[in-house]
Amino acid sequence: MNSTLPNDTDPEIEAMLIAGYRAMSAAEKAERVSELTKAVQEMALLDVRRRHPDEDEREHALRVASRWLDPEVMKRVFGWNVDEVGY
Express each pLDDT in 12-54 by its tens digit. Answer: 998 999 999 999 999 999 999 999 999 999 999 999 999 999 9
Which residue range forms the structural domain that includes residue 20?
11-85
Model pTM above 0.85: no
Report pLDDT for 23. Answer: 97
Cα–Cα distance, 35 to 12 (Å, whole number): 25
Cα–Cα distance, 8 to 6 (Å, whole number): 7
Asked whether residue 24 is domain-assigned, the answer is: yes
The predicted model gives 55-61 an average pLDDT of: 96
Q: How many domains does the chain contain in total? A: 1
Q: Is pLDDT of 1 > 80?
A: no
> Around Cβ 38, how many Cβ atoms within 10 Å?
10
CA 27 to chain centroid, in Å, comes to 20
First to last CA, the chain: 38
Report pLDDT for 86. Answer: 86
Asked whether residue 48 is domain-assigned, the answer is: yes
Of 43 and 7, the structure prediction assigns the larger pLDDT to: 43
